[in-house]
């Protein structure tokens, strides 16, 4: 079960200058809960946006740069190579960025999307979800509160 996990604004905004454009503690908590113990697959820029590797997850970084190496992660050059490394994981997660999500949209079985109900200035975007290929199976709304400046909805899609 290959799962894409992302948070995107109303216009599919993911981030700007290799950083998120919102802070949603409950979404971070959900991300940690879902991905802990699994392989997480990401592009190099996404990985480099982390202050340090995320605990209790196997990091697989896809980079076009054949010279790129990092002792803290597994570096591969294609999505197929990443999935081969994660083959024994029942649910590897694709965690970004935009180009990696676009590739993954063709092969994923599930999407865990946090839709942030606002519009943001961004330079990286989540690909459109083709309605004919995906079915929304779960939806959970969270309103603004003292810890969350924006309302958001957890959306779970499965491939039809």
Low-confidence spans in the chain with pLDDT less than 50: none
The pTM (predicted TM-score) of the whole model is: 0.95
pLDDT score, position 155: 98
Tokens of 143: 């309103």
Cα–Cα dist 49/9, whole Å: 19
- 3-159 maps to which CATH number? 3.40.430.10
Q: What residues contact residue 19 under an 8 Å CB cut-off, 6+ apart?
A: 49
């Amino acid at each position: 079960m290959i799962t894409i996990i992302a948070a995107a604004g109303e216009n599919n905004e993911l981030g700007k200058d290799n950083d998120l454009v919102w802070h949603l503690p409950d979404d971070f908590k959900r991300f940690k809960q879902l991905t802990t113990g699994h392989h997480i697959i990401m592009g190099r820029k996404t990985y480099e946006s982390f202050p340090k590797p995320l605990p209790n997850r196997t990091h697989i970084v896809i980079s076009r740069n054949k010279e790129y190496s990092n002792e803290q992660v597994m570096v591969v050059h294609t999505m197929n190579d990443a999935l081969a490394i994660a083959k024994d994981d029942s649910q590897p997660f694709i965690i970004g960025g935009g180009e990696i999500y676009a590739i993954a949209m063709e092969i994923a079985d599930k999407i865990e999307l946090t839709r942030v109900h606002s519009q943001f200035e961004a330079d990286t975007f989540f690909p459109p979800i083709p309605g004919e290929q995906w079915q929304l199976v779960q939806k959970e709304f969270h309103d603004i509160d003292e810890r969350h400046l924006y309302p958001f909805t957890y959306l779970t899609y499965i491939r039809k």
